[in-house]
Structure 1
């Protein structure tokens, strides 16, 4: 039986990765709705270490895994390494003495415990003695309530984790309200809605993106621009001389490197190098997510009848987080960069075949299994194909970023 996985990053106050929420399913249409939650919880724990590499899925940080009361009391958790996981105690939360004792044992063994969907309740007082983190939904918790939770729990050494953080504005407000960790897609949106000036060093990368994505590439002009930005020139030469290209002799000229790449592959690789340069002051995960999205879209191309446009789909996925990298809206950014019209439409949310591919990748990334199943059916994609692509894209993104 196939197993499916998605992961969502959890950031600390300084925007560093603290861990990943891991979500598992048996199939694309199994939403764990109305089924046995104890069984589902046990499968999540088993799949985390038996079917998938937990280190690969979490970049050697911590995995946040949901667990029911029965799963905790049964002792299944003790099979996991304490330093690698955060155990989320699921709702409904009506603690009994047996659950409290089990949590005490886990805490003594070095496990980090979290309460999911936290709400103040006198009934959980006995359990709070063993809790390290409480998670709360920002869509149902006001900033005032958030501050109250912080004032109550921080003196007890309990950290706060806000979920469904969807914008930088919300991120900053929650920072000021005492939140320690953040889960959501706020890094894929611009800091402000107003147009921001682009820093001079970033503008060089934008100029390269403009030139390399022009309908007709002026190789002479592009080579001159790249030579004026040493980081891009260095990485481009390092790329073309890597084992992946297997050239018989080293390449020392930017013009020669551009000529050897040629066309769509040139757009792909130079755009990738420029994007990573622009994101040098951003969280690593923002770049890795961009790379993984691009690679996923590229790998999907032959399965959705777009094999000749695989490099274009790579750029679509790569650019899907460009707003968070430049801190401007995608609409503004794409006005500055010549880009295929249907891909530009896809990035701006307009329907079409490319947008369907991007939606598929986003649904996989976020664990939106019903949406994923619906789109996959419409594209006649097999479930195991999607999973293989997702894992391969994540691995490629990590290796490429490290390189």
Structure 2
């Protein structure tokens, strides 16, 4: 039977550094579209599928941008393949916890290291027999949910006494665990906390967020005219430059080169430029995890893609809805409180707040991909992948 384009899917999970910047993404094999379930006959098949999907079916840079791609490799890989088909600059080779430190594996790891590859030990549990692995590793990953909190710091210290490796705390699910691992000396962090940060309710807005809120009020006002939007954008040189760069990404061959913001607005339309200005303005804050903005962009683009596929009216309203579905995290307020300060129409607000209408339906689909529960939405997998590619393209602007 011929496989459909959606038989295999590559999931990804962000990895951040101590400054909360994206360091890389772990690429995860997924059978079908439920990103919480990996069904495959062997570890080798899983690895081969990830490599095929991320490097042959699609450009790996479209999945991870300029960041590093972490990929799991089983024991068979170190017996069967000496010269990987991928470049050492962007791929981190994760040695699965099931790999035994025998002489052949150690020699293969040393060969890869000599070629310039970064080696990471996945789900590491300390044992003396793994000391040779530690001495060759660049990164050691710990599943911190299976370690007693009081044991985390001594364990990190013990590993670093053997070799000054980079410690990656995996499955960081909340702020308390993030703070604990950071204090214990972890250098990198991975877990659901970074894709969905907690919201501190009743938080007083900073000056930067007050300015952002004022700008958003103007930018998303439905009564706004083209000249009004142009005058708002032109006051911020950085915003103007980013709008022009973003327009260039979407420029078709038939379009003339841009010489002014007004030309961009005439070619792409007021609503589209409004959406771009909103997105760029929201990413101007430096006290919010970068992945929050990526997730908001991903929802926005994905929802717009579905709306276009289904020929729904006012596709840019779906884009704005996806973008503003994360405004509570960005502003540090309750969602209803944050949305109350922005002049969005009731159609968008009710969709985001209460899951009503087509906006509510599409937002629910977007969240199903994030929450590992996309079994009922397989038809949208390729649209989600396209949204990931577009987010990475935008991130480079």
User: Normalising TM by the smaller chain, what interval?
Assistant: 0.7 to 0.9
Tell whether the 8 Å contact from 2:121 to 2:140 is kept in structure 1 after alignment. Answer: yes
Tell whether the 8 Å contact from 1:131 to 1:158 is kept in structure 2 after alignment. Answer: yes
Tell whether the 8 Å contact from 1:73 to 1:102 is kept in structure 2 after alignment. Answer: yes
Check if 1:58 corresponds to 2:64.
yes
The residue number in structure 2 matching 1:292 is: 298
Check if 1:70 corresponds to 2:65.
no
Per the alignment, in what secondary structure is the counterpart of residue 298 of structure 1?
Answer: helix
- With normalisation by structure 1, the TM-score equals 0.79
Per the alignment, in what secondary structure is the counterpart of residue 152 of structure 2?
Answer: helix
Post-superposition offset of 1:357: 2.4
The residue number in structure 1 matching 2:323 is: 318
1:23 to 28, 35, 44: 28
Which consecutive unaligned segments of at least 5 residues does structure 1 have?
Answer: none
Distance 1:45 1:232, change over 3 A: closer
Distance 1:313 1:33, change over 3 A: same
The residue number in structure 2 matching 1:373 is: 375
The residue number in structure 2 matching 1:332 is: 337
Post-superposition offset of 1:132: 2.1
Of 287-296 and 190-199, deviating more is: 190-199
The residue number in structure 2 matching 1:11 is: 16
Tell whether the 8 Å contact from 1:117 to 1:135 is kept in structure 2 after alignment. Answer: yes
2:188 to 181, 189, 193: 181
Q: What is the aligned length?
A: 387
Tell whether the 8 Å contact from 1:237 to 1:251 is kept in structure 2 after alignment. Answer: no
Q: Distance in 1 between matches of 2:141 and 2:230?
A: 51
Distance 1:397 1:61, change over 3 A: closer
Per the alignment, in what secondary structure is the counterpart of residue 165 of structure 1?
Answer: coil
Q: Distance in 1 between matches of 2:300 and 2:391?
A: 9
Q: Distance in 1 between matches of 2:353 and 2:125?
A: 37
Q: Distance in 2 between matches of 1:52 and 1:224?
A: 37
Which consecutive unaligned segments of at least 5 residues does structure 2 have?
Answer: none
Per the alignment, in what secondary structure is the counterpart of residue 81 of structure 1?
Answer: coil
Tell whether the 8 Å contact from 2:220 to 2:344 is kept in structure 1 after alignment. Answer: yes
RMSD after superposition: 3.8
Post-superposition offset of 1:14: 1.6
Q: Give the alignment of 1:205-354 within 5 angstroms.
A: 205-213=212-220, 217=223, 226=232, 230-231=236-237, 234=240, 238=244, 244=251, 261-262=269-270, 264-265=271-272, 267-277=274-284, 279=285, 282=288, 284-303=290-309, 305=310, 307-341=312-346, 343-344=348-349, 347-348=352-353, 350=355, 353-354=358-359
Distance 1:319 1:113, change over 3 A: same
Per the alignment, in what secondary structure is the counterpart of residue 308 of structure 1?
Answer: coil
Per the alignment, in what secondary structure is the counterpart of residue 21 of structure 1?
Answer: strand
